[in-house]
Structure 1
Amino acid sequence: MTLPRGFKAKAEREALRLRNELGLRDTDALKVEALAEHLGVKVVSADRLIDRTRLEDLERVQAYAFSAATFQINNQSYVVTNPLRAPERQTSDVAHELSHIMLGHDLTEVREVNGMPFRTCRPDEEEQATAFGGTILLPRTLLLDAARRKLNPEQIAAQYGVTDEMARFRYNTTGVAKQQVRGSRTTNTWGAKA
């Protein structure tokens, strides 16, 4: 599956626009809770809605079957998160769900795991939400700034509160990794361009 033409560039512009609306610089860390509030979306931990043991049972039956989900109730959007996930993973999950909302995706497909129904989107919409969610958290301008400061993906993950996997994914798919390799080849040990 591939993203629609121009999707990545539009996502980058939108990520920077959202930061601007939140009063952040392009290189500031974005708190998904602040973005959710800005969008009028409520974020709720699933263990406030059901007993935590049900979540643990689901995890045993099918690991990672539930990370986060979006619901519309009385014209209010809710993102329900899985408290069993690490905070960094929850950040990515909320960004992904907020992306579905901002992209206007229709949660139409229902799947059932261990007697629990889950609504989901089409695979192409899932890919879009994954790409946009990552861009919201780590736009290319932020990654370029981090690379200039000699931060590797693990250090970027720690500084910006995302998973190592998310930082590596964005670092590699935005071309920042290749750009840094090319830049390091043209600089001699004294720091001057060769």
Structure 2
Amino acid sequence: MREVAAEERSEQGVTPRERLDPYTLAVTHGIDIYAIDELPGEHCSHFAVEHFTSVRQAAWSAALVPIGSARIILENVSHDPRRRRSSIAHELGHFLLEHDFHDVLLTDDGCRQFSSAHEKQAKYFSGELLLPEKAARWAAFRGWTNDLVAEHFDVSIEFAQWRMSGARVYARRALERQEGGVGR
């Protein structure tokens, strides 16, 4: 997964330390992105849009939807732009990792059923797309805060914290070994 994400970044002309635009990556792969609030009418009820953008805003972020052999992404525009970037990267993960659609279903009561393994893979992949491990380690060795990482890579502070947690441990241990401290 790390190699696929690095390849996608490289094909976009983006180094590991630079910000990647998941919207541009989607266009590169021929995936159109539609805001859920563009759907009411023929494709979706106003009630459903209101439900997911106001009543239960946190219940749904984005979805990769098959239409014949094509794919589109629907996104919840009521979310913060940085969360939306993460959601788009996550859905691109499902696409680029070639996850089957029979594993993502809606039940009669509207609950989603999905492969937890595929969800974990898409989450990890979105991390590698938006804030690669190499970049996180680079930032950790420089003592970057979550705020600075979030700003630089245009991700949420929570996303930065998630990606930086392991990188900071790695950097701390490496520096301790260099100084003759713990780990020798």
Tell whether the structures are fold-level matches, with TM greater than 0.5.
yes
1:36-185 paired onto structure 2 within 5 Å? 36-50=26-40, 54-58=48-52, 62-108=56-102, 109-111=104-106, 121-172=114-165, 175-185=166-176
SS in 2 for 1:40: coil
SS in 2 for 1:83: coil
Say which of 6, 28, 35 aligns to 1:16: 6
Cα drift, residue 182 of structure 1: 2.5
More helix by share: 2
| TM-score (ref. length: structure 1) | 0.78
Q: How many residues align?
A: 174
Letter in 2 for 1:42: D
| TM-score (ref. length: structure 2) | 0.82
CA distance in 2, matches of 1:25, 1:131: 18
CA contact (8 A) 1:156 1:167 kept: yes
CA distance in 1, matches of 2:125, 2:133: 12
Q: Is residue 23 of structure 2 the alignment partner of residue 33 of structure 1?
A: yes
CA distance in 1, matches of 2:50, 2:107: 16
Identity of aligned residues (%): 28
Structure 2: 5+ residue runs without aligned partners? 180-184
1:3 maps to what in 2?
A: none
CA distance in 2, matches of 1:118, 1:40: 29
